């Protein structure tokens, strides 16, 4: 039996989908600590910061806009043409790394009623892919969002009712009632990582 790094380039890709402040990043980092094989952590947020600053809150990139009349506040996200290319490129980059034999945990936010999952299934058809829905009660999401201090308040509320529409999961995790380490062990055991 050969070592994992000498095997054919079929990767394991774990895709975490959930709202901002759901705990995806904390879960991914904890999961990296408990898996028997090394997993890269790929964050959608890192790709968003790659775009030129002039496209922040610009119609071609991503616009974070308050929902008029929403109380408590909600912040919607509009994706422009450049933003759509960036997110498509991220998913293709994930596929390219998987084709190189790199295992990954992908930290993503889906807002197109499951179309993102269809993209991943198509791009990663030669790999073992696990979809994990990450959620928490809205009150906890909002507490985390405020505590972080780096998000527009209201993103979690707006995403909460949208992010899981049309998605199907191999596992669902509620981070509201467990630590990142407990959640990571649940994922590790479910997929025998």
- Tell me 133's DSSP state: E
The band of 6, judged by pLDDT with boundaries at 50, 70 and 90, is low
Interatomic CA distance for residues 173 and 190, integer angstroms: 11
Has residue 187 got a pLDDT over 80? yes
Of 79-83, 108-112, 141-145, the range with the lowest mean pLDDT is 108-112
Q: Residue 128's pLDDT is what?
A: 95
- pLDDT of 2 strictly over 80: no
What is the SS3 assignment for 135?
Answer: strand
User: Looking up tokens 């999952």, which residue turns up?
Assistant: 117
Select, from the ranges 2-16, 47-61, 83-97, the one with the highest average predicted confidence (pLDDT): 83-97
179 is in an annotated binding site: no
pTM listed for this prediction: 0.90
**What is the number of alpha carbons within 13 Å of residue 66 lying toward its C-beta?**
8
pLDDT 10s digits, 33-73: 999 999 999 999 999 999 999 988 899 998 888 888 888 88
Mean pLDDT of 105-115: 88
Query: How far is it, in rounded angstroms, from Cα 57 to Cα 44?
Result: 17
By three-state DSSP, how is residue 98 classified? helix
Q: What letter does residue 104 receive in the DSSP assignment? A: E
How many C-beta atoms lie closer than 10 Å to residue 38's C-beta? Answer: 10
Residue 133 labelled as part of a binding site: no
Evaluate if residue 140 carries a pLDDT over 90.
yes
Q: What pLDDT does residue 1 have?
A: 45
Residue 165, CB-side half-sphere exposure with 13 Å CA sphere? 9
168 is known to lie in a ligand binding site: no
pLDDT score of 85: 95
Query: Does residue 61 have a known ligand-binding role?
Result: no
Q: Mean pLDDT lowest for which of 4-13, 88-97, 163-172, 178-187?
A: 4-13
Helix (H) or strand (E) holding 89: helix 81-99
Indicate which residues carry an active-site annotation.
45
* DSSP H/E element including 107: strand 104-108
For domain 13-188, the question of CATH label 3.30.70.260 is answered with no
User: Was 25 annotated as part of a binding site?
Assistant: yes
């Amino acid at each position: 039996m050969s070592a994992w790094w000498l095997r054919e380039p079929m990767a394991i890709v774990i895709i975490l989908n959930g709202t901002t402040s759901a705990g995806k990043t904390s879960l991914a980092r904890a999961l990296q600590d408990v898996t028997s094989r090394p997993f890269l952590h790929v964050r959608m947020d890192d790709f968003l910061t790659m775009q030129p600053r002039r496209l922040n809150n610009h119609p071609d990139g991503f616009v974070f806009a308050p929902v008029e009349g929403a109380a408590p506040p909600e912040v919607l996200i509009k994706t422009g043409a450049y933003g759509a290319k960036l997110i498509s490129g991220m998913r293709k980059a994930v596929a390219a790394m998987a084709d190189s034999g790199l295992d990954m945990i992908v930290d993503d936010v889906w807002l197109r009623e499951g179309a993102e999952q269809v993209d991943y299934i198509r791009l990663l058809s030669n790999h073992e892919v696990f979809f994990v829905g990450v959620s928490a009660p809205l009150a906890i999401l909002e507490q985390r969002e405020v505590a972080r201090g780096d998000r527009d308040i209201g993103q979690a509320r707006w995403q909460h009712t949208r992010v899981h529409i049309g998605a199907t999961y191999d596992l669902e995790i509620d981070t509201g009632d467990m630590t990142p380490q407990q959640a990571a062990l649940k994922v590790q055991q479910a997929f025998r990582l």
